[in-house]
Amino acid sequence: MSLLEVCAISRFFGGLAALKDVSFEVRKGEILGLIGPNGAGKTTLFNVVNGFYRPSQGEVRFQGGRISGLKPHQICKRGMARTFQVVKPLQRMSVLDNVIASAFLRAGNKQQAAEAALEILAFTGLQQDRDVISKSLPLGKRKRLEIARALATKPELLLLDESFAGLNPSEIEALISIIRDIRERGITIMIIEHHMRVIMSISDRIVVLNYGQKIAEGTPLEIGRDPLVIEAYLGEAQHA
Amino acid sequence: MMKNAFPYIGLGALLLFPLLGFSSYLMHIAILVIMWSVIGMAWNLLGGYCGQVSFGHAAFFGVGAYTAGMLYSKLGLSAWWGIPASIVVVTLVALVIGYICLRLRGPFFALATLSMGVILRITAENLVKITGGDIGIMIRERTWVEKIWYYYIILALAVMTFLVVKQVVGSKLGYYFVAIREDQDAAESLGIDTTYYKTVALCLSGVITGLAGAFYTNYMGYIDPKVVFALHDISIITIMVVMVGGAATFSGPVVGAVIMVLLAEMIRSIPKLGAAHHTFFGLLLIVIIIFLPNGIVGDFEKIRKLFRTRQEQP
C-alpha cells in the first residue's frame, strides 16, 4: 500500500527545472532512500512534498488525499514530519523544551507533552542532554535532536534530509540503529543520504535523481548494478 | 520559600505605597512606571517571546486612547467605557495590521509596523470631524482629583497583565511563540500554524497596550494625535523599556519601566540639555545592545560578575 504518491512533479525556478516529471511512491512501512549527485533536486523534492514549495506541475498524495498546495503545518498535522539538512534547532530553548514544543501538536496539555517528549528523548539517547541549551549541542546530537523533534509530532512518514552528514563512525552506527528502531515503531521513512554505505544498508528501495529527473528506482542491489546510476553517480564518485 | 513569597511581598508593597502620603508628583511618576510596565509586558509577548519586533505599538496605544476619548466626545459616555471597548476595537485593528504586516519577516515586519503607527497618527490628525484633529480630545469632568484611584486601577491592570503573560508563557502558546522566534521554518514544519499564532501574539500584545492607552486618556484627561500615536515617545520608548529591562524575561519590562521613566524625568529636569532626552536614550540603547544584549534582567549574572571582580581587586 502506498503511503505517499509523488505524481509527475515538476518544479521550476525561473527557467530552471529543479524537478522534472518525477513520479514514485513510498510504501507503508518501508525505508526509501533518495540519492543523487549534488544539485539533483533531492532537497527541492522534500520541500515540495513537505509543503514549503508548491509543485509547478503534478501533485502529491498522502494517505490517499491530495496534499500539494497545503501549508507545511497542515501537512505535518496529517502525519508527515521532516528534518533539515542544515539543522534548525530552536536555539535558545533547552533540548527538552525543543521536543515539548513539537509534542504539543498531539498533546492535550503540557504534562502530556512533557511525558511524550521525555519518552522520545530516551528513545533517541538524548536524556542526559535534556537541560542543555540546544545552541551548545555538538553537531551529532543536534542531528539527533532534529529527529527527536520530528518524532514528537507522531508522524506516519518521516523525511530525513542528510541526517548522517558530518557524523563520525560511531555516531553513524548509533543513528543507523535509531532509524531501524523508528521503522520498528511502524513509521515509514524517506531519507536523503550521500553516505553510500549507509543508504545501501538501510534502504529497502532507492530512488535516484539526476538533474531533476528520476533515472532509476529499485532495491539497493539493482541500483548498485544500474549502468545509468553508475554513470551519473557512482562513476562520478570513482573519478573524484 | 523566599522566592515564592517574593511576588506577594512586592504586591503588598505596591498596594501600601500610596498610603505613605507621597506627593502628587511622586504618585504621578509611580503611575507612569506602572503604565509603562504594562506596555512593556505587552510588547514583550510579541517582541520578546514571539520574536516579532514591532516599531509601531503607538498604533495600539493610540487606538485605545482614542476609543476612550471618542466614547466621551462623540457619545457622551464616561471615558472609562473605553477600557472594555478598546478590547474590541484594538482587536479589530490588530487583525488588520496583522493581516498586512505578519506576512513580512524580521526588519520588514518592523518597518511595516512603524509605518502603521505613522499612518494612524496622520489619519487621526486629518479626520477632524471624528477625532477632533490636532486639537485633540479633552475630558472635562475628571473622575477623581486624587491620584490614588488611578494608581490602583493601573496597578490592577498591571497585575492582570503579569498573570496573563505568566499563564501564556508556561503554556502551549508560549512554547509556540518561542519556537516561531527561534526558527519560523522549523516551527512551520513542526505543525505550528505560524501565521495564526503570530496573529494571536499581535492581538494579545495590542489589546493590552490599547488598555493602557484607554487608561491614559482617563488619567491625563487630554489626548492628541502627536502624543498618543508618537513614534519616539511611545513606540520607541516601548522597545527601550523591554530592551533595557530584558526581552523574554518576566520582570524585565518592569525593571525597564522604572529605569526609563526615572531617567526621562531626570534628564528632562536638566536645564538646556533636557530637550535632548532622545539623544540620551539613543546612547543608552547603544550601550545596552553592546554590553547587555539581554537587558539588565537577562544579563544580571554578567553585571554581578562585573561588580564581584571589581571588589576583589584592591
pLDDT tens for B49-95 read 999 999 999 999 999 999 999 999 989 888 899 999 999 999 999 99
Do A113 and B172 lie within an 8 Å CB cutoff? yes
In whole angstroms, what is the distance from residue B69 CA to residue B118 CA? Answer: 19
Q: In what order do the strands lie in the sheet with A31-35?
A: A80-82, A157-161, A188-192, A31-35, A205-210, A213-218
Measured in angstroms, the CA of B173 and the nearest CA of chain A are apart by 9
Q: Could you give the C-alpha distances from B36 to A121, B216, B285, B288, in angstroms and in order?
A: 41, 11, 17, 19
Q: Who among A52, A101, A110 is closest to B190 (CB)?
A: A101
The pLDDT of B192-205, averaged and rounded, is 96
On whether residue B300 sits in a domain, the answer given is no
Q: Does A73 touch chain B (CB under 8 A)?
A: yes
Greatest distance between any 2 Cα atoms in chain B: 69
Please enumerate in sequence order all residues whose Cβ is within 8 A of that of B188, keeping only pairs 6 or more positions apart, or say none: A52, A71, A72, A73, A76, B194
Q: Does A93 touch chain B (CB under 8 A)?
A: yes
On whether residue B131 sits in a domain, the answer given is yes
Answer whether residue B104 shows pLDDT above 70. yes
Residues B170-209 as b or e (16 or more Cβ within 10 Å = b)? eebbbbbbbbbbbbbebbbbbbbbbbebbbbbbbbbbbbb
Answer whether residue B314 shows pLDDT above 50. no
Instruction: Report the pLDDT value the prediction gives residue A37, as an integer from 0 to 100.
Output: 87
Q: Does B302 touch chain A (CB under 8 A)?
A: no
Q: Does A50 touch chain B (CB under 8 A)?
A: yes
Nearest CA in chain B to A102: B190
On whether residue B140 sits in a domain, the answer given is yes
Helix (H, G, I), strand (E, B) or coil at B261: helix
Helix (H, G, I), strand (E, B) or coil at A157: strand
B2-16, B164-178, B191-205, B235-249 — which is least confidently predicted?
B2-16
Q: Who among B172, B178, B191 is closest to A110 (CB)?
A: B172
In whole angstroms, what is the distance from residue A50 CA to residue A33 CA? Answer: 16
In whole angstroms, what is the distance from residue B239 CA to residue B209 CA? Answer: 13
**What grid cell was written down for B110?**
518592523
A120 and A99 Cβ atoms separated by less than 8 Å: yes
Measured in angstroms, the CA of A77 and the nearest CA of chain B are apart by 6
On whether residue B11 sits in a domain, the answer given is no
The per-residue pLDDT string of chain A (240 residues; one tens digit each, 9 = 90 and over) reads 789 999 999 999 988 899 999 999 999 999 999 998 888 899 999 999 999 999 999 999 999 899 999 999 999 999 999 999 888 888 888 999 999 999 999 998 999 999 999 999 999 999 999 999 988 898 889 999 999 999 999 999 999 998 888 888 988 999 999 999 999 999 999 999 888 888 999 999 999 999 999 999 999 999 888 888 888 865 555 544
Answer whether residue B310 shows pLDDT above 70. no
On whether residue B89 sits in a domain, the answer given is yes
Residues from chain B contacting residue A110 (CB–CB below 8 Å): 170-172
Do A90 and B178 lie within an 8 Å CB cutoff? yes
Residues from chain A contacting residue B178 (CB–CB below 8 Å): 90, 92-93, 97, 101
Do B171 and A153 lie within an 8 Å CB cutoff? no
The pLDDT of B230-259, averaged and rounded, is 92
Instruction: Report the pLDDT value the prediction gives residue B3, as an integer from 0 to 100.
Output: 64
Compute the C-alpha angle B190/B53/B214, nearest 5°: 115
Instruction: Report the pLDDT value the prediction gives residue A240, as an integer from 0 to 100.
Output: 42
Nearest CA in chain A to B194: A73
Instruction: Report the pLDDT value the prediction gives residue A234, as an integer from 0 to 100.
Output: 57
Answer whether residue B275 shows pLDDT above 90. no
- Angle, helices B194-220 vs B57-75, to 10°: value is 50
B122/B140: higher pLDDT? B122
Domain of residue B88: give its range.
Answer: 23-230
Interface probe for A, chosen from B169, B175, B189, B199 (most Cβ of A below 10 Å), is: B189
On whether residue B59 sits in a domain, the answer given is yes
Residues from chain A contacting residue B175 (CB–CB below 8 Å): 97, 100-101, 104, 113
Cell match 480630545: residue? B137
Q: Tell me what percent of the residues of chain B surpass a pLDDT of 70.
A: 97
- If you average pLDDT over each of A226-235, B193-202, B282-291, which comes out highest? B193-202
Q: Does A48 touch chain B (CB under 8 A)?
A: no
On whether residue B254 sits in a domain, the answer given is no
In whole angstroms, what is the distance from residue B226 CA to residue A79 CA? Answer: 52
**The amino acid at A66:** R
The pLDDT of B20-44, averaged and rounded, is 93
Question: Average model confidence (pLDDT) for chain B?
Answer: 91
Helix (H, G, I), strand (E, B) or coil at A226: coil
ipTM of the complex model: 0.88
Measured in angstroms, the CA of B106 and the nearest CA of chain A are apart by 17
Confidence band (pLDDT; 50, 70, 90) for B226?
A: very high
Q: State the total domains in chain B.
A: 1
On whether residue B285 sits in a domain, the answer given is no
Nearest CA in chain B to A51: B189
B 161-220: CB under 8 A from A? 170-172, 175-176, 178-179, 182-183, 185-194
